[in-house]
Protein backbone atom coordinates (compact mmCIF):
# COMPACT_ATOMS: atom_id res chain seq x y z
CA UNK A 1 0.00 0.00 0.00
CA UNK A 2 1.32 3.43 -0.96
CA UNK A 3 1.64 6.01 1.78
CA UNK A 4 -0.58 8.45 -0.12
CA UNK A 5 -3.29 7.28 -2.49
CA UNK A 6 -4.91 9.54 -5.04
CA UNK A 7 -7.22 8.54 -7.88
CA UNK A 8 -5.56 9.62 -11.15
CA UNK A 9 -8.89 10.26 -12.90
CA UNK A 10 -9.53 11.89 -15.26
CA UNK A 11 -12.45 13.56 -13.55
CA UNK A 12 -14.65 15.34 -16.09
CA UNK A 13 -17.27 17.84 -14.92
CA UNK A 14 -19.39 20.57 -16.51
CA UNK A 15 -18.59 24.21 -15.88
CA UNK A 16 -20.14 25.46 -12.65
CA UNK A 17 -20.06 22.08 -10.90
CA UNK A 18 -18.67 21.52 -7.41
CA UNK A 19 -15.57 19.37 -7.64
CA UNK A 20 -14.32 17.09 -4.89
CA UNK A 21 -10.73 15.83 -5.06
CA UNK A 22 -9.49 13.42 -2.42
CA UNK A 23 -6.44 11.67 -0.99
CA UNK A 24 -6.10 8.97 1.61
CA UNK A 25 -2.98 8.25 3.58
CA UNK A 26 -1.60 5.68 5.97
CA UNK A 27 1.00 7.58 8.03
CA UNK A 28 -0.65 8.99 11.15
CA UNK A 29 2.39 11.24 11.72
CA UNK A 30 1.43 13.53 8.83
CA UNK A 31 0.61 16.98 10.18
CA UNK A 32 0.84 19.35 7.20
CA UNK A 33 -1.35 18.86 4.17
CA UNK A 34 -0.87 20.67 0.87
CA UNK A 35 -2.69 20.90 -2.43
CA UNK A 36 -0.91 21.84 -5.65
CA UNK A 37 -2.30 22.60 -9.07
CA UNK A 38 -0.23 21.65 -12.09
CA UNK A 39 -1.08 22.77 -15.60
CA UNK A 40 0.22 20.69 -18.47
CA UNK A 41 4.00 21.08 -18.93
CA UNK A 42 4.28 23.51 -16.00
CA UNK A 43 5.56 23.24 -12.45
CA UNK A 44 3.15 22.59 -9.56
CA UNK A 45 1.72 25.70 -7.97
CA UNK A 46 0.81 25.71 -4.27
CA UNK A 47 -2.92 26.24 -3.80
CA UNK A 48 -3.45 25.71 -0.09
CA UNK A 49 -1.98 24.11 2.97
CA UNK A 50 -3.56 23.16 6.27
CA UNK A 51 -2.19 22.02 9.58
CA UNK A 52 -3.72 19.04 11.40
CA UNK A 53 -7.49 18.67 11.10
CA UNK A 54 -10.16 21.08 10.03
CA UNK A 55 -11.19 23.22 7.10
CA UNK A 56 -9.55 26.11 5.30
CA UNK A 57 -11.22 28.26 2.69
CA UNK A 58 -9.67 30.49 0.01
CA UNK A 59 -12.04 31.90 -2.55
CA UNK A 60 -13.61 29.04 -4.50
CA UNK A 61 -11.31 26.48 -2.86
CA UNK A 62 -11.86 24.65 0.43
CA UNK A 63 -9.38 22.19 1.90
CA UNK A 64 -10.59 19.68 4.44
CA UNK A 65 -8.60 17.32 6.64
CA UNK A 66 -10.05 14.41 8.59
CA UNK A 67 -7.15 12.89 10.52
CA UNK A 68 -9.33 10.27 12.18
CA UNK A 69 -10.15 8.83 8.77
CA UNK A 70 -6.76 9.73 7.24
CA UNK A 71 -8.58 11.49 4.43
CA UNK A 72 -8.13 14.92 2.89
CA UNK A 73 -10.25 16.73 0.34
CA UNK A 74 -10.12 19.76 -1.90
CA UNK A 75 -13.43 21.25 -2.99
CA UNK A 76 -13.70 23.63 -5.92
CA UNK A 77 -16.93 25.61 -6.16
CA UNK A 78 -18.27 27.05 -9.41
CA UNK A 79 -15.60 25.23 -11.40
CA UNK A 80 -14.24 26.93 -14.52
CA UNK A 81 -12.53 25.57 -17.64
CA UNK A 82 -9.38 27.32 -16.36
CA UNK A 83 -9.44 24.92 -13.38
CA UNK A 84 -8.62 22.06 -15.77
CA UNK A 85 -5.30 20.76 -14.49
CA UNK A 86 -3.76 17.99 -12.42
CA UNK A 87 -4.18 18.41 -8.67
CA UNK A 88 -1.54 16.93 -6.40
CA UNK A 89 -1.93 16.37 -2.70
CA UNK A 90 1.16 16.34 -0.47
CA UNK A 91 1.69 15.84 3.23
CA UNK A 92 4.58 15.98 5.67
CA UNK A 93 5.27 14.69 9.16
CA UNK A 94 6.70 16.58 12.11
CA UNK A 95 9.75 14.34 12.45
CA UNK A 96 12.58 13.13 10.25
CA UNK A 97 13.55 15.02 7.11
CA UNK A 98 10.13 16.70 6.73
CA UNK A 99 10.14 15.93 3.04
CA UNK A 100 6.55 15.85 1.77
CA UNK A 101 5.04 12.71 0.34
CA UNK A 102 3.08 13.39 -2.83
CA UNK A 103 0.08 11.70 -4.31
CA UNK A 104 0.19 10.85 -8.01
CA UNK A 105 -2.27 13.59 -8.89
CA UNK A 106 -5.85 13.71 -10.18
CA UNK A 107 -6.47 15.04 -13.67
CA UNK A 108 -9.49 17.39 -13.72
CA UNK A 109 -11.28 18.46 -16.89
CA UNK A 110 -13.93 21.17 -16.66
CA UNK A 111 -15.83 21.41 -19.92
CA UNK A 112 -17.84 24.48 -20.97
Partner 1 sequence: DGGITQSPKYLFRKEGQNVTLSCEQNLNHDAMYWYRQDPGQGLRLIYYSQIVNDFQKGDIAEGYSVSREKKESFPLTVTSAQKNPTAFYLCASSIRTGSGKNIQYFGAGTRLSVL
Question: How many residues form the binding site for partner 1 (CB under 8 A)?
Answer: 27
Only one of the segments 12-20, 36-44, 61-69, 70-78 lies at the binding site for partner 1 (rule: CB under 8 A); that segment is 36-44
- Residue 14 or 95: which CB sits closer to partner 1? 95
The secondary structure of the chain as a DSSP string is --SEE-----EEEETT--EEEEEEE--TTEEEEEEEEE-TTS--EEEEEEESSEEEEETTEEEEEETTTTEEEEEESS--GGG-EEEEEEEEESSTT-PPEEP--EEEEEE-
Chain residues binding partner 1 by CB under 8 A are: 8, 31-32, 34, 36, 41-46, 49, 51, 88, 90, 92-95, 97-100, 102-105
Amino acid sequence: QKEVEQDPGPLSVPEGAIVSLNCTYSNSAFQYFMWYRQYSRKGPELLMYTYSSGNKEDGRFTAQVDKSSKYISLFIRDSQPSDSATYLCAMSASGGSYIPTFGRGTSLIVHP
